[in-house]
Amino acid sequence: MSDINIDNWWLPFTNVRAFQDNPRIFSRAEGCFLYKQDGSEVLDITAGLWCCNVGHGRREIADAVHKQLMTLDYAPPFQFGTPPGFEFAQRITQHTPADINRVFFTNSGSEAVDTALKIAHLYQHARDKGGKQRFISREQGYHGVNVGGTSMQGLPTNRHGFPVLDRVDFLPGMLDISRNAFSRGSPAHGTEEMAAAFENIVAMRGADSICAVIIEPVSGAGGMVPPPQGYLKKVRELCDKHDILLIFDEVITGFGRTGSAFAATEFDVVPDIMTTAKGINGGTVPMGAVLIKDEIQQAIFDAAPNTLPEFFHGNTYAGAPVAAAAGLAAMDIYEQEGLLTCGSGEKGKYWEDALHSLADLPQVIDIRNYGLLGAVSFDPMELPAKSLGPKIHQRCFDNGLLCRAVGDNMVMSPPLSISHQEIDLFISRFRQSVTEVL
Ligand code: PLP
């Protein structure tokens, strides 16, 4: 039991009353491990919340943050700039597709999503297509918690009861266990159904009314679902055909998660706008970013009066020097240790084989993986739906393993710096926990 007062902090996405009965508090972290208050270790197979991609407690980042705080802690980003902000923006664009070179910093993925939606709107107005106001999102999609992102949510519990924009249609979700179970990488089925649904939406609403499609290249919070073969190329093709912008929400997939720096590169599809956050500086200082095609920024600039800001939008801490310094240090680690691409190499293969070795566990109905992402889905049998996942999650935690339950799917996204030995430890603790529950 904790000796600290836990009454005042209202935790996000948490059943607070259950938490108060069973507080789970971390007090230290290093490498791939978090440590509870009693000193016991927990193997972090979620990289915090898909963000601590370079592992915990990296001295290089801590030193860079300290140095930056003592050099220039803060300067306003409205009408002023700082060296780390410009340098980090440039470093990021060394890893984006060739036409995507403009970076608008935010403080989170949610802000990046709402910013991207505004930029898409502004662009349509700039080229006299202001009637294009609708969006297409996808069932099971997660796009953060601000009003725009909440409106794009394909997870009903995250929309229910909140004020949302009503001009949104949804493509079908990608999880199809009946046809794609136990696929490795991109599964075979689903692209044709998506294309048919896309065309139906366009036929129903009219292409002249649709501003943009927003999708996660790999569905994350919806249960870690890779796109079926050819899916993202087909989306790009349909967007081009109907003159609709394509936004990739790369808040999770950015910074090495899929085996390339960004999923856009991994799947060889260039979106018009990308959002990112999470791994941007290794989960150390809040930061997100919108990455924009040059021609979109240019069109917005061309349409704006040259005496005013081209974009009436921004956050106090946008591109904050400390966050950018952390990003530069994280980028050094990503590049020097080959972490941005390790998921498509030998480590990704080791991860895939390890994950699929769990297929003999009871009630497993699917295992899927991409890069250093993975999920194991369970049939809850006689239990109510979505109650087995939390039970396995708790048992894993008790046994020193942090993974994530999304309903009855156990979802994994280890630090990219994870070793083979730590992957083996994950497998043995997961196996033990599931065996104890079932
Ligand atoms: N978009 C996606 C795809 C995400 O997975 C998340 C967070 O998990 C967000 C947006 C929101 O990011 P944040 O929690 O930093 O606001």
What value of ipTM does the predicted structure carry? 0.99
Ligand 1 centroid, distance to 204 Cα (angstroms)? 30
| pLDDT per position as a tens digit, 163-173 | 999 999 999 99
- Report the pocket of ligand 1 as residue ranges, CB < 6 Å: 108-110, 113, 142-144, 216, 220-221, 249, 251-252, 277, 288
For the entire predicted model, the pTM comes to 0.98
Average pLDDT, the chain: 97
Q: What is the pLDDT of residue 248?
A: 99
Q: What is the pLDDT of residue 403?
A: 95
d(CA 193, CA 171): 9
Residue 1 has pLDDT above 80, yes or no: no
d(CA 31, CA 421): 13
Substitution candidate for ligand 1 out of 53, 105, 110 with most atoms within 8 A of CB? 110
Scanning 5-128, the segments in alpha helix (DSSP H) are: 16-21, 47-50, 59-71, 83-93, 109-126
Ligand 1 centroid, distance to 227 Cα (angstroms)? 18
Percent of the chain with pLDDT over 70: 100
pLDDT band at residue 2 under the 50/70/90 scheme? low
In the chain, CATH 3.40.640.10 covers: 63-336
User: What backbone torsions phi and psi does residue 376 show, to the nearest 5 degrees?
Assistant: -125, 120
> Taking Cα atoms as reference points, which of 292, 202, 289, 213 lies closest to residue 245?
213
Residue 378 has pLDDT above 70, yes or no: yes
Ligand 1 centroid, distance to 107 Cα (angstroms)? 11
Mean pLDDT over residues 65-74, rounded?
A: 98
Ligand 1 centroid, distance to 128 Cα (angstroms)? 31
**Is the CB of residue 426 less than 8 Å from the CB of residue 45?**
yes
d(CA 23, CA 321): 35
In the chain, CATH 3.90.1150.10 covers: 16-53+340-437
**Considering only CA atoms, which residue is closest to atom 1 of ligand 1?**
143
Residue 159 has pLDDT above 90, yes or no: yes
Q: Which atom from ligand 1 is nearest to the alpha carbon of 110?
A: 16
pLDDT band at residue 3 under the 50/70/90 scheme? confident
Substitution candidate for ligand 1 out of 114, 218, 252, 255 with most atoms within 8 A of CB? 252
pLDDT band at residue 16 under the 50/70/90 scheme? very high
Mean pLDDT over residues 156-167, rounded?
A: 94
Task: Write out the CATH class of domain 16-53+340-437.
Answer: alpha beta
Mean pLDDT over residues 206-214, rounded?
A: 98
Residue 344 CB neighbours (<10 A): 18
> At the topology level of CATH, where does 63-336 sit?
Aspartate Aminotransferase; domain 2 (3.40.640)
| pLDDT per position as a tens digit, 271-285 | 999 999 999 999 999
Ligand 1 centroid, distance to 113 Cα (angstroms)? 8
Q: What is the pLDDT of residue 95?
A: 98
| pLDDT per position as a tens digit, 302-348 | 999 999 999 999 999 999 999 999 999 999 999 999 999 999 999 99
Q: What is the pLDDT of residue 88?
A: 98
Rounded to a whole number of angstroms, the distance between the first and last alpha carbons of the chain is 27
Ligand 1 centroid, distance to 47 Cα (angstroms)? 14
The SS3 assignment for 376 reads strand
